[in-house]
Chains A and B, each alone.
Chain A
Amino acid sequence: MQTQETEKQFEKLIKENELLVFKVCRMYAYTNADRKDLFQEIVLQLWKAHPKFKGESKFSTWLYRVAINTAITSLRKEKRFITSYEPEALPENIREENNSDVEEEQLQQLYTAIEQLTQIEKAIVMLYMEDKSYDEMEDILGITTGNLRVKMNRIKEKLRQLTKNN
């Protein structure tokens, strides 16, 4: 009975924050099957770590830590080729909707460029795009804010070059 209650509470929490998990999956997995696998692995890791969550940090901070750690250490399938972002190919549960066609096109360009970044750079970009403060990013990644700023500037330049070339 208590387990069922805990499961329900956990389900509610995940449903509320599903989009964050989805964004991590989209960043680190390139095929539909890999995204589904990663989504499941992250949810499982969150479920395992859930009893240890004491609210010392924000729930989203804790969730990002588990999701990024799982994505970069568990998914060992090597990237075979660079694919562009295909919304129609996403699993139904994580399909998304964007705004105008121009924005959609720009985002698509960005995702293609992001695929060429390293695993750590992807995490930094994602948190930056989610408007996380450098302090919060430090709390998730463990990289000092000074170092993060330097890295962020380099990533911006790298993305600028990548999108220019595409």
Chain B
Amino acid sequence: MELDDLKQSWQKTNKVESHDSDIIRLIQNKNYGPVAALKKAFKKQIKLMIIVPFIIFFTNIDRVDRVLTSIMFWSYIAFCIGLITFSWFNYQMVKRMESMDGMVKANLEQQIATLQSRLKWKITGVRIALLYFILLAEVMPYFQHYSMLDKWHSLSLAVRLAAYVGFLLLQYFISTVVSHRKYGKHLLYLKQLANEMQ
């Protein structure tokens, strides 16, 4: 079978019915693609991080003074601000992946670059968050006392350091596995496509 012989019949392909494809209804529906899902997740994270500090504040309204002078509360606020900034940054990055009107090869290269940089930032972000909590756990007991942290500090420095190293290693292992499961396959697939276009 020769491809050229079938060109004519391929082009003669005609639609029979088109009356029931409601384009207006289709464009009013929401996207369900992977980029749309990521955008939705980041939006949700931003909203949640804005709401949670207020919930903490209002559930402790009868102890406002204690809440406002609590290092733990302000550390949490700082963490939320960091996470909101990080999610917003990610949201903007992912938004760039939505543009689909470029040449296929350029679009693929852009998607690969964006995904790779998103992966790098995600791993860095989680590491920074973990280091932030380690720092808090070590520094906070010098300023304010919390029973859990005091108990933690009753352990020797060597044990605490070993636990922190363990946490960091576990984070490295989990991040690598989760990232590979979530994006690795898709990234590999995009790279294969891009290679094929060389």
Task: Tell yes or no: B32 within 8 A of A by CB.
Answer: yes
Q: How far is the CA of A5 from the CA of B2 in the complex (A)?
A: 46
Residues of A within 8 A of B2 (CB): 156, 160
Residue from B7, B18, B24 in contact with A93 in the complex, judged by beta carbons closer than 8 Å: B18
**Segment among B60-68, B101-109, B116-124, B168-176 that sits at the interface with chain A:** B101-109
**Segment among B82-90, B150-158, B189-197 that sits at the interface with chain A:** B189-197
Task: Tell yes or no: A119 within 8 A of B by CB.
Answer: yes
Task: Tell yes or no: B14 within 8 A of A by CB.
Answer: yes
Q: How far is the CA of A69 from the CA of B189 in the complex (A)?
A: 14
Contact pattern, A 30-72, Cβ under 8 Å of B = 1, otherwise 0: 0000000101110111011100110000000010011011101
Question: Quick check: B26 and A43 within 8 Å, CB to CB?
Answer: yes
Residue from B9, B99, B186 in contact with A98 in the complex, judged by beta carbons closer than 8 Å: B9
Closest Cβ neighbor of B189 among chain A residues: A76
Question: Quick check: A142 and B197 within 8 Å, CB to CB?
Answer: yes
Closest Cβ neighbor of A125 among chain B residues: B3
Residue from A18, A41, A118 in contact with B196 in the complex, judged by beta carbons closer than 8 Å: A118
With contact pairs A44-B29, A62-B101, A74-B34 given, residues A14 and B23 touching in the complex (Cβ less than 8 Å): yes
Residue from A70, A95, A123 in contact with B100 in the complex, judged by beta carbons closer than 8 Å: A70
Question: Quick check: A95 and B15 within 8 Å, CB to CB?
Answer: yes
Chain B interface residues (CB < 8 Å from chain A): 1-3, 5-7, 9-21, 23-24, 26-27, 29, 31-35, 98-108, 111, 186, 189-190, 193, 196-197
Chain A interface residues (CB < 8 Å from chain B): 7-8, 10-11, 14-15, 18-19, 22-23, 37, 39-41, 43-45, 47-49, 52-53, 62, 65-66, 68-70, 72-74, 76, 92-99, 103, 106-107, 109-110, 118-121, 123, 125, 128-131, 139-143, 155-156, 159-160, 163
Name 25 A/B residue pairs within 8 A (Cβ), A-sorted: A7-B27, A18-B18, A37-B32, A44-B29, A48-B98, A53-B101, A65-B102, A65-B103, A69-B101, A73-B100, A93-B20, A96-B14, A97-B16, A99-B12, A106-B5, A107-B6, A110-B1, A110-B3, A120-B197, A129-B3, A131-B11, A141-B105, A156-B3, A159-B3, A163-B1
